[in-house]
Amino acid sequence: MTIVRADQPMGLKQLFDETGSSTYTYLLWDTETKDCVLVDPVDVKVDRDLKEVEELGLNLIYGINTHAHADHITGTHLLKQQVPTMKSIISAASQAKADLTVANGDRIVFGNRSLVVKSTPGHTEGCVSFVADDESFVLTGDALLIQGCGRTDFQGGSAEHLYQSVHSQLFSLPKSTIVYPAHDYKSRTQSSIGAELESNPRLGGGKTQDDFVEIMAGLDLAYPKKIDVAVPANMRCGVPDVE
């Protein structure tokens, strides 16, 4: 599923990994300068991503991760091999390697456009979300999913922290802000802050932190199949282990 919003002030293309992780990668660009960033690229979809960049005539400035993923290996290392001028970015709180690290309130600039970094720990300790400069959309990574949220049972996850992150950093955005998550497992592509605030079954509709902690403790999800390979690789920005 691909959505094109190139008519909007910031170019946005949502790209889906159908090979197993159900990850959404986002290509964002300044329609005037053609500078672009890729958010949450997946290693097996790098050729597709670079084809999109080339077909749109864009200059890839940054490869960005919302966190050190547990279900797939990031594409940033492979992107850097093919576009040596591209810099990788991840949060300092993730303790993962990258060319540049960011923290709450930082602004990632590409051309005349930017993303504001919001610290949203809870799924992992280092999770961040990215708010568009005009607040028209937010990339929520695995913090807030459509009618769901990221699990909190590994990588320093904490239901208490996730509840606070979502309520203080995301639900405080305009209700009209579009929510673009890093995953959806039911072919949904977007939501809005207003819709999630009202009806997210884990976090919205007046759910308290105690309600949320109980819900998360009862999820009983299977571990991601690639977690043992993906997390160490992603702490190295996707660089293969040399041993």
Ligand X SMILES: N[C@@H](CCC(=O)N[C@@H](CSS)C(=O)NCC(=O)O)C(=O)O
Site residues for ligand X per CB under 6 A: 21, 70-71, 142, 148, 150-151, 183, 221, 224-226
Q: Which is nearer to ligand X, 11 or 148 (CB)?
A: 148
3: enclosing H helix or E strand: strand 3-4
Minimal distance, residue 141 CB to ligand X, in Å: 9
Minimal distance, residue 26 CB to ligand X, in Å: 16
Report the alpha-carbon distance of residue 184 to residue 199 in Å, rounded: 17
Q: Which is nearer to ligand X, 147 or 169 (CB)?
A: 147
Q: Which is nearer to ligand X, 11 or 150 (CB)?
A: 150
Minimal distance, residue 114 CB to ligand X, in Å: 27
Minimal distance, residue 224 CB to ligand X, in Å: 4
Q: Which is nearer to ligand X, 80 or 161 (CB)?
A: 161
Q: Which is nearer to ligand X, 60 or 73 (CB)?
A: 73
User: Among 118, 121, 108, 113, which Cα is nearest to 173's?
Assistant: 118
Tokens of 13: 């293309």
Contact between residue 120 and residue 138 where contact means Cβ atoms under 8 Å apart: no
Helix, strand, coil percentages in the chain from 3-state DSSP, rounded to 5 = 25, 30, 45
Report the alpha-carbon distance of residue 34 to residue 158 in Å, rounded: 39
Q: Which is nearer to ligand X, 61 or 144 (CB)?
A: 144
Q: Which is nearer to ligand X, 70 or 89 (CB)?
A: 70
Strand partners, 141: 181
Report the alpha-carbon distance of residue 166 to residue 222 in Å, rounded: 24
Minimal distance, residue 74 CB to ligand X, in Å: 13
Minimal distance, residue 87 CB to ligand X, in Å: 25
Minimal distance, residue 111 CB to ligand X, in Å: 31
User: Among 135, 123, 126, 124, which Cα is nearest to 216's?
Assistant: 123
**β-strands 24-30, 87-91: how paired?**
unpaired
Render the burial of 39-77: b for 16+ CB within 10 Å, e for the rest.
Answer: bbbbbbbbebbbebbeebebbbbbbbbbbbbbbbbbbbb
Distance of CA 143 to the CA centre of its chain: 8
